[in-house]
Amino acid sequence: MSHLTDFQDKCNKITALFNDDLTTLKTGRAKPSLVEHLKVQAYGGSWMEVRELASISAPDAQTIVISPWDKSVLKDLERGIAGSELRLNPVVSGEIIRIAIPPLTEETRRDLVKLMSQKAEAHRAMVRQERTHFKKEIEDEKNVGGVSEDDVKRNLENLQKITDETIKKIDDMVKAKEQELMTV
């Protein structure tokens, strides 16, 4: 039974990882999660996440405000955000950084949906890979004393059930995010 528990834990971690990936997708709305995990080089070369260097807020739907705790890293934050793959344009005003989130074009929305679909497929593949690994472990128990063929068959059925549930969770997350992306 521990194989199924371990597999369920792996599936939960994969689902959580996919959820984290989805929060980094721009939806045209300002959210602190968009930049909080972004790594910038500060304090002479150390790579740190934005959330470790500053407080992040979204006072309205189109603006992210970053207020560094140590004002000496202001330029490092600006440079790191501007150079990221998010293609954001940070503007320093006084001791804070403002980032205006532009509304998404139809083409950008479609590109984000494609990117999200690719990420979803990668996470589904991770689930299937884990299923293959645990399936082999369960099938190897046939040769162990005290484990009946019925136990092995039941465990394999439960393994497939957990796999199907996890992939359904990923698919549901994709549908919800796609609806959010395509809403103007």
The confidence score (pLDDT) of residue 83 equals 87
The model scores a pTM over 0.75: no
Residue 181 pLDDT level (bands cut at 50, 70, 90): confident
CATH class assigned to 32-100: alpha beta
pLDDT of res. 102: 79
Look at residue 96 and give its three-state secondary structure: strand
CA–CA dist 34, 56 (Å, integer): 10
Q: Considering the domain 2-23+105-182 in this protein, what is its CATH number? A: 1.10.132.20
CATH 3.30.1360.40 residue ranges of the chain are 32-100
**Mean pLDDT for the chain overall:** 88
pLDDT higher than 60, residue 1: no
Contact at 8 Å (CB) between 174 and 116? Answer: yes
In this structure, which amino acid lies at residue 28?
G
pLDDT for 129-179, tens place per residue?
999 999 998 888 887 777 788 888 999 999 999 999 999 999 999 999 888
H or E segment to which residue 46 belongs: strand 46-49
pLDDT at 184 over 70: no
Start and end residues for every CATH 1.10.132.20 domain found in the chain: 2-23+105-182
- Tokens for 47, please give them: 């790579």
Identity of the residue numbered 93? S
Higher pLDDT, 151 or 29: 151
